[in-house]
Amino acid sequence: MSFDYSEIAGVVLELLAEFGAPAVLKVKGTSSGYDPATGTATPTFTPYPCTACNTQAERSYVDGTLIGEGARVFLVAPQGIPEPKSGMLLAWQGSDFAVTVCKPLAPGGVPVMYELQVKA
């Protein structure tokens, strides 16, 4: 007997939509060009709209190992986005946060939710 985890993913999306806020996962692409004056290349990003909820990390986890000091934790719905990875950005309420850790919740191989640790 198999279980339909896609239905659970839909419930998670509804809950995050109710208690969270719109966000954008930004995936770094290639550089848009090199600026010889500054010696830097401006990266481009592909935006993926999503829904996220900022949560409080367990105080006992904030030890510099499990969760670093100053890190924030977001729950993100998986619909319409690639699996977040370190180096991607999460734009939420006017700020960009660098993804440092992504913990997927994917029972039966179906992504239901991502727990992201991010830094400002």
Phi, psi of 106 (to 5 degrees): -140, 70
Question: For 55-101, what is each residue's pLDDT tens digit?
Answer: 866 555 555 555 666 678 999 999 999 999 998 999 999 999 999 98
Q: What does the alpha-carbon distance between residue 108 and residue 7 come to, in Å, rounded to a whole number? A: 13
Is this structure's pTM higher than 0.95? no
**Domain locations in the chain as residue ranges:** 5-119
Cβ atoms of residues 105 and 84 within 8 Å? no
Cβ atoms of residues 20 and 75 within 8 Å? yes
Architecture label for domain 5-119: Beta Barrel (2.40)
